[in-house]
Amino acid sequence: MTPYGGFVLSSPPGLSVHKHESFSTQIIDSLIQEMKKEHYFSISILNSPQFLDLRPFTSNGWESRVYYTYYINLENNLELHADSLVKKNIRKAEKNRIIIEPFSDISRYYDLLCGTFARKNLKPPSSKSLITELYSFIKNQNCGEMVVAKTPDGEIACADIVIWDNRQAYVWSAASDARFLNSGSPSLLRFDDLTRMQEKGIPMINMMMGNAQELWQFTSHFNPTLVPHYQIQSRIYHDVRIFKT
């Protein structure tokens, strides 16, 4: 349920670029040596956009691959920043009397999530019990919320769970009902996400949707900034032979 994890490094403030890079390289070199001792056949780590310097890994023979996410600056005028298709879809949703409201029934959300992944012949990314526990934690810590777009008949057209910290917000999870994808509800809900985070004084939101074509084509209409992040991978044993007896 997280698009990336990986390494989190900080260094004492006031260091020069050279000292900062030397400090980070020493830490990563030590970690690489410890990982080698575990004798993994391969290691694959998808780092966050804040982790940029892959050189300690690539100089040790690791491979790298680029992924993407989208950021939106919430200090912009959101209505002026979105393109004409977003505004058209919002008007369509309003004409279809789509209603945006908070929601807390995680069971119904999970059913919607399962349907979203089933359309792509995929299993949901986590069990219902895990998502329930995570959502309870988010609510208890007051660092996230679920909001849905409902039809006039009370059916859930789409739903988003957005979480935040003291630096930015993240579209953590999203689900939709295929019957209502053309109702304008996804654009209305996502624009509402941006507005709510802006009202909380959060300066930036990570839209998380930069790698699947269907998702990036939807998200790019909000005129976000494309931001890279990197996977690093090490195949420690390149020559593994299987012998039959």
Query: Domain coordinates of the chain in residue numbers?
Result: 1-67+228-245, 76-202
Residue 55 tokens read as 């050189």
Average pLDDT, the chain: 91
Alpha helix stretches (DSSP H) within the chain: 17-37, 55-58, 78-81, 84-95, 106-118, 128-140, 185-199, 213-219
Please check whether the domain covering 76-202 is classified as CATH 3.40.190.10.
Answer: no
Q: Is a pLDDT exceeding 70 seen at residue 240?
A: no
Residues 6+ apart with CB under 8 A from 42: 233, 234, 235, 236
**46-55 tens-digit pLDDT:** 999 989 999 9
> What's the whole-model pTM score?
0.86
Q: Which residues pair with residue 160 across a beta bridge?
A: 147, 174
pLDDT for the residue numbered 119? 92
**135-173 tens-digit pLDDT:** 999 999 999 999 999 999 999 999 999 999 989 999 999
- The residue among 1, 40, 240 whose CA lies nearest residue 130 is 1
Which residue type does 78 have? L
Please state, in angstroms and as integers, the Cα–Cα distance from residue 13 to each residue in 8, 21, 53, following that order. 16, 13, 18
C-alpha to C-alpha distance for 61 and 232, rounded to whole angstroms:
10
- The residue among 79, 74, 135, 89 whose CA lies nearest residue 108 is 135
Q: What are phi and psi of 237, to 5 degrees?
A: -105, 105
Residue 236 tokens read as 């420690």
For residues 35 and 43, the answer to whether their CB atoms sit within 8 Å is yes
> Maximum CA pair distance of the chain?
70
**73-108 tens-digit pLDDT:** 999 999 999 999 999 999 999 999 999 999 999 999
Q: Is a pLDDT exceeding 60 seen at residue 242?
A: no
